[in-house]
Structure formats: structure tokens, C-alpha cells
Amino acid sequence: MNKELDFKKLTINTYFEMLLRFFSMIINTVMISRYEITLLAAMSCANQIFILSSSLFTFFAVGSSIYITQALGAKKYNLATKASHIALLFNLILGIILFIFINCFAEFLLTSLNTPKSIFSLSLMYLKIINYVILIDCINIAFSSILRSYAKTKELMYASFFMNIINIILNALFLYYFELSLLGVAISSVIARLFNLFFYLFVFFKIANLKLYLKLFFNSDKEILIKILKTGSFSALENICYSFEYIIILSFIALLGERYLSTQSIFFQLLFFVFTASLALSVANEIIIARMIGANKMQKAYLHTYKALKIALIISLIYSLILFLLKEKLYLLFNLNSDLINIISSLFYLLFFLEFAKAFNIVLSNALKASAKTDFCFYLSLISICFVCIPLAYFFTQIIDFKLFGIYLAFLCEECFKALFNLLMWHSKKWQKSKLIN
């Protein structure tokens, strides 16, 4: 197998899959901002609960993905099949539990985010409908992680493309024809996710030629389950930490007012444009690294990650420059008034430094996760969140009044802190002892 060629194909396919998802987010934001700008603030609060819930599904999805990919590298296909069943079963159980929990405690969750009273009822309505997306996504995330382990990234790209087309058409229909406002946006998200699920099922059975065995859902291999739980639990806890971090940060922003919530919603999505390329590289590298580790090619894995890192850093700078140069056109695209422009314009000066550090971290942390060194990634994230980002965000916004600029300055400090320790861990090669497949 040509690893170099595979890396390019995996990166390109993964990049376009993520870019299509990003494009859908931007289209949604543009359409909603032009319909009514205050709806962005209502979406922002409810979406944080959605993001936190989705991160929980990585509990089994990430752990099983690492296990499956290493098993494929070691050519132990039976173990990969068993791990796939574990991921699907436990994600479904978790999805049902989360769906019931959010339905029962939706008002409390939004209140804890300091959701402004003027948009509370809208956020509540949106959250209760988007909760059905959570129920569908529990299976979607499991299927996508399994298919990515089998390197079916081209098919995942097609799934994103068709889902986005459906989502955009339905948004336009519900917003401008039926005038359903945020209700229509939520409904279109549910329908688009259902389509995504059917597409994944088609790819799983017909293209990847994989099978599901009913007995494996009721007779899970305990040794595999323990390894997936150990690996996945740290990864899920890391994602939960980040979600709680963002919820706390969002509550700081909410105290600043609706204008800052709307600006945050827009700028956060713009950053994803830059971050997508680095993320795609890191995911493609993770797949190849896990297979190399499964095949016991440790030195190749070590060097391959540094190659991916160099490319990611260069691309992050290029994309940051593009976004910076286009900022005036973006103000017009999102229909921003002078107040929002004043808030967002200062953030662009942190863009280069923030995205460079994020690219550095995502490549190295995903490489460490490919080796199953998820415990280190979790502890590093926990320390950086509790002792760097949140204290600095509070200081910069509540003490010296840097407002939204202070929030992103805190994010930058957090990324720089993690970059140092991720580099030291990868360079030490201690991750080579974390291999899951013997």
C-alpha cells in the first residue's frame, strides 16, 4: 500500500467532507442573519447543549475507531468487526439517555447558560426540536467513525455533500416560503440528518461490504470492550471538558449582551474555515498512524506525523491570510451593522497566532490518540482549561474589560500551553507503549 498516496487521498476527501459541513453552517448563518440577526443568539445558546451532547458520543466512537484502525493495520479483521458492533450498540444507548435527559431538563440547561430572557423561548423551542438530531447523530457518529477507519472517506464526503444540499434547500423553503423562522431551521436539520443516516447505511452494507451480526450486539467481547472503554473514556472526557469550557466561556459572553453572542456565533464559524484544513490533515494522519502502529511501524509513524505537522502549519497561515484579506467582504455577506463590525474587527488580528497554535495541537494530539495515548490528551486539556483558559477569560473580560477580544486571547494562551506539552510527548516516543493490538 502506498502510504504517501493514501495520505493525500485521505486528506483531500476528509477536507472536502469537513468543508461541506462548514459550508452548510455558513449558509445557515448567512440565511438566518439576513432573516433576523437576533436568531443567531438564540441558536448559539441551544447549540452549546447540542455540541456537548454530541461530544459524549465520542466515548465509544473514538475508542472503537482507534481499535478498529489498529486491528486493520495488524490484519485482525475479526477484532475490527467486533469493535464496530460495540460502537453502534453503546452509542445508541447513550443517545436515548441523552434525548430523555434534555427533554426533561431543557429549561434548566438554558438557564444555566445565562440565556437572555428576550430569546429564551426561541432557544427552548429550538433545543427541543434539535434534540431529535442528537438521537439520530448517536448512530451517525458511530457509522462515520467506523467507515473512516476503513478509509471510506470519499463516501463520507458524498454524504456531507448531499446532506448539505438538502439542508440548504429546506432552510430556504422553511425560512422564506413558510416563514417558520427558527422552527424551520431546526426541522430541516432533523430531516437532513435522517438522510445522512440512510446514506451511511447504504455505504456500510453496499460499498464497504460490511455486515452486522445480531449475536454480536448481545455477546460483546469483554477484552475489546474494556480497551475501547479505557481509550474512549479519556477522549470523551476531553471533549466534555472542552464543551463545558465553551459553555462557561459562552456564559461570560452572554453577560456582555446579545450583540456579542451574535458576533461570537459568526466569528467562531469563520475560524472553522481555517481550522478545517488542519483538522482534515490530522484525521488523515491519525488513520495512517493507527494502521502503522497496528503493523508495528513506529518510526514511520513518528516521522509521518512531523511531515503532516509542517503541512498543517503552512496551510493554517495561508488560510488565515485569505480570511484576513476578505474580512470586509465578509462583513457585507453577514449583513453586519457598525456595532458588530467594531466588535469582530479586532478579533482578526489574533487569527494568525490562534490558528497556527490550533493546527500544531490538532495534528499532534490526534497522532497521540491514534497510539491510544488518550489519557495524556485528557489530562493536558483538563489542566489547560482549568488553569489557563477559564481563569484568563474571566480576567480579560470581567477584570480588565477586553470583552470578546479577551476571550480569544485566553484561547490563544491555552493553545500555546498545550502545544508545548504535546510536542514534548510526541518527541519522547512514550506513546509507542500504548498500542492496543498485541
Q: CB 197: neighbour CB atoms within 10 A? A: 16
Report whether pLDDT(305) > 90: yes
Report whether pLDDT(330) > 90: no
Residue 178, Cβ density class (10 Å: 0-12 exposed, 13-18 middle, ≥19 buried):
exposed
Confirm if 6 and 288 have CB atoms less than 8 A apart: yes
Average pLDDT, the chain: 87
Q: pLDDT by residue (tens digit) across 141-181?
A: 889 989 988 888 889 889 988 988 898 899 889 988 888 88
Instruction: Give the chain's domain count.
Output: 1
H helices within 257-350, ranges in order? 258-294, 298-325, 327-333, 338-345
The helix (run of H) or strand (run of E) holding residue 376 is helix 374-384
pLDDT at 302: 95
pLDDT at 221: 79
Rounded CA-CA distance 407/23 in Å is: 25
pLDDT at 246: 82
Least confident interval from 99-108, 230-239, 424-433: 230-239
DSSP state of 398: I
Q: pLDDT by residue (tens digit) across 15-66?
A: 887 777 767 666 767 777 777 777 777 887 787 787 777 767 766 777 888 8
The pTM of the full predicted model, rounded to 2 decimals, is: 0.79
pLDDT at 3: 41
Q: What is the mean pLDDT of residues 113-142?
A: 88
Dihedral of CA atoms 273, 278, 282, 284 in degrees, nearest 10, equals: 70
Query: Is the torsion defined by CA of 224, 229, 234, 238 positive or negative?
Result: positive
Report whether pLDDT(4) > 50: no
Number of H helices, E strands in the chain: 17, 0
Q: What is the mean pLDDT of residues 311-331?
A: 92
Q: pLDDT by residue (tens digit) across 170-221?
A: 988 998 888 888 888 889 989 999 999 999 999 999 999 999 988 888 877 7
pLDDT category of residue 359 using cuts at 50, 70 and 90: very high
Report whether pLDDT(87) > 60: yes
Rounded CA-CA distance 427/438 in Å is: 23
Q: What percent of the chain has pLDDT over 90?
A: 39
Rounded CA-CA distance 287/272 in Å is: 21
CA R_g for the chain: 21
Length, in residues, of the chain: 438
Name the grid cell of 52. Answer: 456537548
pLDDT at 25: 66
pLDDT at 324: 92
Q: CB 25: neighbour CB atoms within 10 A? A: 17
pLDDT at 59: 66
What 11-16 contacts at long range (C-beta under 8 Å, 24+ apart), as own/partner pairs, is 11/280, 11/281, 11/284, 12/280, 13/153, 13/154, 13/156, 13/157, 14/148, 14/153, 14/156, 14/157, 14/280, 14/283, 14/284, 15/276, 15/277, 15/280, 15/281, 16/157, 16/160, 16/161
Report whether pLDDT(254) > 70: yes
Q: pLDDT by residue (tens digit) across 372-425?
A: 899 999 999 999 999 999 999 999 988 898 989 999 999 999 999 999 999 999
pLDDT at 58: 66
Task: Name the residue range of residue 57's domain.
Answer: 3-434
pLDDT at 1: 38
pLDDT category of residue 273 using cuts at 50, 70 and 90: confident
